[in-house]
Structure 1
Amino acid sequence: MSTTQSDRLRGLLEPLVHAKDLDLEEIEVSRAGRRGLLRVIVDSDEGVELDACAELSRAISEKLDETDAMGEGEYVLEVTSPGAERPLTQHRHYVRATGRLVKLQLHEGGEVIARILTVDDDGLDLEVPGVKGRKPTARRVEFADIAKARVEIEFSRKDKKEEEA
């Protein structure tokens, strides 16, 4: 996708996304056979429900029908949430992952798998799980030291609502 098209789509769609109290995380345009594919990825602090995606999809479709932002050809519109294993790239991603297990690749080399306890402007306070019966340990990692970060999928993770009860 050209920068011009990307910028134009972002400018067109961002107000619609914000009107639904969502964040526009990413816009992807690609080819799917003869058709184009426009994937709009949205998120919020509370997550994104299917109904919200459906409502936003209708609003985006109407807006795109009024413009030539996608050109003259056919395209498929997909409005979705980021998914479980998406990279953490912005401060708000880390805040939303508080309480979750993450894998951090560090600039100095090596990796850390730990649970995010708190997030501030400079970095993360983590709880590194204990190995072989040992107690978990606390660790601080600054954002400047993180090369890549991703949420780890936990099949037996306690839900936040369970923990609050």
Structure 2
Amino acid sequence: MSASDTVLTNVRKLAEDVSAREGCYLYDIEFVGMGAARVLRVTIEKEAGGVSVEDCTNVSRGMNVVLDAEDVVPGDSYSLEVSSPGLERVLKEPRHYERAIGKKISLKSFAPLLQFNEQVQELGKAKSFEGKLLGYDDKALKVAWPTKQVEGAVGDEENGFYKEVTIPFETITKAHTVFEYIEKAKPGQKSPHKGKSSGGSKK
């Protein structure tokens, strides 16, 4: 384990303790930037009710106290940011994917998806994906690749057809949930329209 990994591990433990004390849990933590421009980003979540501005403020205040007392971050000064996951959540850990099963996700792979899914030739040279997360195991994700080719696909004409695609964790460079909203049907409309947001702002 590198020195930077050790630092982040120590900070993670402090963040978990502070978050729990405030009735939240740690969703994600990372250092971004370099030197004096470094930012420690702490993302917190709640099992129910959602994270409030007050929650973020309390965790931020608590983190500042323990970070100063423990002095676990060496080097230049840095900034601390505490926020909720937002509408489109970063997916990094198994527990993140667990809560995203059945939801639409977007991800990028450094390798062509066809390399692991020769049965789905329409993947072509695609290295990115957007579709429903079906499940996962300790090695890969199982996702639904939307397709118009009925042969070998699952689904129906009303809800659409898809083929199951496997994406190894080790090839994923970035992944997050996709927020979808459903417009209420106006008088005379038969069904609502489902769309994708342009991204929600974090608190």
What TM-score comes out, normalization by structure 1 length?
0.64
Gaps of 5+ in 2: 116-124, 150-156, 184-203
Q: Which has the larger radius of gyration?
A: 2
What secondary structure does 1:23 align onto? Answer: strand
Deviation of the 1:24 alpha carbon:
4.1
Partner of 1:114: 131
Contact kept in structure 1, 2:31 and 2:38, CA below 8 Å: no
CA change 1:89–1:157 in 2 (3 A) is farther
Partner of 1:152: 178
Matched residues, number: 153
What secondary structure does 1:150 align onto? Answer: strand
Contact kept in structure 2, 1:124 and 1:141, CA below 8 Å: yes
CA change 1:48–1:126 in 2 (3 A) is farther
Deviation of the 1:54 alpha carbon:
1.6
Alpha-carbon RMSD:
3.7
Task: Give deviations 1:26-58, integer Å, cap 9, x for gaps.
Answer: 2215458x5653222233555533222122111
CA distance, structure 2, for counterparts of residue 157 and residue 94 of structure 1: 23
Gaps of 5+ in 1: 159-165
Within 5 A, what are the aligned runs for 1:16-165?
16-19=18-21, 20-28=23-31, 30-31=33-34, 34=36, 36-44=38-46, 46=48, 47-71=50-74, 74-105=77-108, 106=113, 108=115, 109-110=125-126, 111-116=128-133, 118-119=134-135, 121=137, 123-124=141-142, 126=144, 128=146, 134-135=157-158, 136-142=160-166, 144=168, 147-148=171-172, 149-154=175-180, 156-157=181-182
CA change 1:51–1:142 in 2 (3 A) is farther
Range moving further from structure 2, 81-90 or 48-57: 81-90
CA distance, structure 1, for counterparts of residue 129 and residue 38 of structure 2: 39
Q: Alignment identity in percent?
A: 26
Report the AA paired with residue 42 of structure 1: I
CA distance, structure 1, for counterparts of residue 75 and residue 177 of structure 2: 39
Deviation of the 1:120 alpha carbon:
5.5
What TM-score comes out, normalization by structure 2 length?
0.55
Contact kept in structure 2, 1:17 and 1:24, CA below 8 Å: no
Partner of 2:187: none
What secondary structure does 1:95 align onto? Answer: helix
Task: Give deviations 1:107-128, integer Å, cap 9, x for gaps.
Answer: 6253543234x53647446484
Report the AA paired with residue 43 of structure 1: E
Report the AA paired with residue 132 of structure 2: R
CA distance, structure 1, for counterparts of residue 80 and residue 60 of structure 2: 7
